[in-house]
Amino acid sequence: MSGGFAPVEGGGSLILAWQIKNKRVLVIGGGEVAAGRILNVLNADAKVTVVSPRDGLNEEVAFRVDNGQVDFVDRKFEPSDLDNVDMVLTAVDDPEASTRIWTLCKERKIAANIADVPPECDFYFGSVHRDGPLQIMVSTNGNGPKLASIVRKQIATNLPNNIGAAIQKVGLLRRKLRKVAPKIEEGPKRMQWMSRVCESWSLDDLVEMDEGDMERLLGFYGPGTVPTLQNIRCDDPEQFAFDGSFGWW
């Protein structure tokens, strides 16, 4: 580090959680790669249209078409398919056709991913581990998708089994806290208090916490203290609010 700051390391990608709920996503192709792309964007609640001759659909894509999970156009791609589209995912075994689609997307300023052609991608798909609200993506910036999958699996094996459920409970507690302290100026205090809860409670405690526990815990937000789960479940939890001997904040 120079001057106490992290050095700039070029060549990376900006990894974001892209919110595409109700966005219009066009998938061109119906094979195995397209199937993976379709599942990814369906999991993000996008509105998906698949363009491909029906005889080019693999079993999974055909299932999603037949069950109405995606809209389907039974033919090869035409430029008019790009009308009113927010994102394009191309997965066809035709490099020239793929490049033409990429060029059209650039002309229309539509974000696009051309499978297996990193220079013709506005974004890459990484290898994702999912546990409820938790998503962890590993990206090799288009260099080695299989290696990304191996790294992702190694990371996943080291995660606690109940991490997804704990995150769901924390999310509910945060929403309740916003109702208790809705003012903008409360933001820093809300963040600090929630950080203390996450740091001092175990994952098992967070999973076990029910809505009654949350209501009692929120009673300690005002003085900025964080009792344990066991103490908020005792007969008189207020007696613990300011007892520094327990090491609370």
* 93 part of the active site: no
Catalytic residue among 74, 94, 116, 205: 116
3 state SS for the chain: CECCECCCCCCCCCCCCCCCCCCEEEEECCCHHHHHHHHHHHHCCCEEEEECCHHHCCHHHHHHHHCCCCEEECCCCCHHHHCCCCEEEECCCCHHHHHHHHHHHHHHCCEEEECCCHHHECCCCCEEEEECCEEEEECCCCCCHHHHHHHHHHHHHCCCCCHHHHHHHHHHHHHHHHHHCCCHHHHHHHHHHHHHHHHHCCHHHHHHCCHHHHHHHHCCCCCCCCCCHHHHCCCCHHHHCCCHHHCCC
Would you name the residues annotated as active-site residues?
116
